[in-house]
C-alpha cells in the first residue's frame, strides 16, 4: 500500500493527475487488443462520466484507501476482467481481457503517463524518486492480477519495455473511437455546454502530452510542445490555487478521507517525499 512517505502518495495528489489520466487512456488505446477490449465490452459511450470516474476512483482507492478498501476494489476489478472476452480486430481470434501481456501494457501506459505528465507539469522529482515511484507501482500491478516482477520498476526498465512493445502498437479503428471519445465525450444536458472548453483545455492537451512516437502513430497534429507544457502548467497552477481539502473532494474525496483517518501528518506535501 502507498503511505504518506511514498512518492505515490505525493504524486497522485497533484492536480495534473487529471490530465495525466486522460493522456494514459490515449496511450493505452494504441494497443489493438487493449482498445478492442474497451470498445467491445464497455458502455463508455453511453455513460462517459461514469467510465472515467470509475477509473479515477480505482487509482484513488488503491493509493489512499484502507487495506480492506483496496482489496475489495481490486477483487471487483479482477472479477470483471475475468469475465470479459474480446475479439482480435485483425485475426478474429478470441482473447481474455485479463491476459498478462494486456494487463502489463495497461499498467505501464498508465504509470508512465502519470509520471511523465505530472513531472512535465512542474512537479520536481529526483532521478532516484522517479525510479522509486515505478518501483512502488509494482505493488499496484498486483492488484489487477500481475506479479510485481512482471512490470518495470525503474525509468530505464520502463523505457526498455516501451521500446520492446512499440512494434505491436498502431492506430486502429478502435483507437480512433477512443480518440474521438476523449476529445469530445458524448455528455448530455447542461454538461454539453462545457465541451467547448473541455476539448482544447483537456482533451487535446492530454493528447498533445503523449510521447512523440505515440502522436506519430495517431497521426493527428498536437499542440506544439512548448504550448502544451505552458497550458498544462497554467491549469495546474489554477487548480493548486484551490485549497487542498476542497480540491481533493473531487471526485470522491479519497485524499480527504485518508487525512481524516491518519491525521494532518498525512496531508500531501513535498516535504514528505522520500
Q: What pLDDT is recorded for position 243?
A: 67
Q: CA–CA separation, 68 vs 243, rounded Å?
A: 29
User: Where exactly are the structural domains of the chain?
Assistant: 7-272
pTM: 0.93
In tens, the pLDDT along 50-61 reads 667 778 889 999
- The answer to whether 158 and 134 have CB atoms below 8 angstroms apart is yes
Radius of gyration of the chain (CA): 18
Q: Is 199 exposed, middle or buried (0-12, 13-18, 19+ CB in 10 A)?
A: middle
Q: Which residues contact 131 (CB under 8 A, 6 or more apart)?
A: 153, 154, 155
State which H helix or E strand residue 138 sits in.
helix 127-143
Q: What pLDDT is recorded for position 100?
A: 94
In tens, the pLDDT along 77-136 reads 999 888 888 888 888 889 898 999 999 999 999 999 999 999 999 999 999 999 999 999
Q: Which of 150, 137, 149 minimizes the C-alpha distance to 102?
A: 150
Q: What pLDDT is recorded for position 203?
A: 92
Q: What pLDDT is recorded for position 107?
A: 97
Where do the H-state alpha helices sit in 42-123? 48-64, 67-83, 100-120
Q: List the chain residues with pLDDT less than 50.
A: none
Q: What pLDDT is recorded for position 182?
A: 92
Amino acid at each position: 500500500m502507498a503511505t504518506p512517505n511514498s512518492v505515490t502518495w505525493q504524486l497522485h495528489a497533484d492536480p495534473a493527475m487529471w490530465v495525466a489520466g486522460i493522456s494514459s487512456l490515449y496511450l493505452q488505446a494504441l494497443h489493438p487488443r487493449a482498445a478492442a477490449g474497451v470498445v467491445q465490452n464497455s458502455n463508455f459511450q453511453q455513460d462517459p462520466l461514469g467510465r472515467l470516474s470509475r477509473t479515477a476512483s480505482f487509482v484513488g482507492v488503491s493509493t489512499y484507501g484502507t487495506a480492506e478498501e483496496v482489496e475489495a476494489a481490486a477483487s471487483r476489478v479482477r472479477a470483471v476482467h475475468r469475465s470479459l472476452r474480446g475479439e482480435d480486430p485483425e485475426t478474429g481470434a478470441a482473447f481474455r481481457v485479463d491476459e498478462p501481456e494486456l494487463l502489463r501494457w495497461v499498467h505501464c501506459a498508465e504509470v508512465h503517463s502519470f509520471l511523465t505528465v505530472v513531472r512535465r507539469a512542474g512537479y520536481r522529482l529526483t532521478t532516484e524518486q522517479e525510479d522509486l515511484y515505478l518501483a512502488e507501482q509494482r505493488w499496484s500491478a498486483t492488484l489487477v492480477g500481475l506479479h510485481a516482477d512482471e512490470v518495470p520498476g525503474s525509468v530505464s526498465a520502463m523505457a526498455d519495455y516501451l521500446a520492446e512493445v512499440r512494434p505491436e502498437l498502431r492506430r486502429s479503428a478502435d483507437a480512433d473511437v477512443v480518440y474521438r471519445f476523449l476529445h469530445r465525450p458524448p455528455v448530455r444536458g447542461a454538461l454539453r455546454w462545457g465541451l467547448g472548453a473541455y476539448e482544447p483545455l483537456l482533451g487535446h492537451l492530454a493528447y498533445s502530452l503523449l510521447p512523440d512516437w505515440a502522436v506519430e502513430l495517431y497521426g493527428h497534429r498536437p499542440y506544439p510542445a512548448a504550448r502544451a507544457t505552458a497550458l498544462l502548467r497554467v491549469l495546474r497552477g489554477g487548480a493548486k490555487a484551490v485549497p487542498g481539502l476542497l480540491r481533493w473532494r473531487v471526485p470522491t474525496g479519497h485524499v480527504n478521507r485518508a487525512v481524516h483517518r491518519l491525521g494532518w501528518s498525512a496531508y500531501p506535501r513535498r516535504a514528505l517525499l522520500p
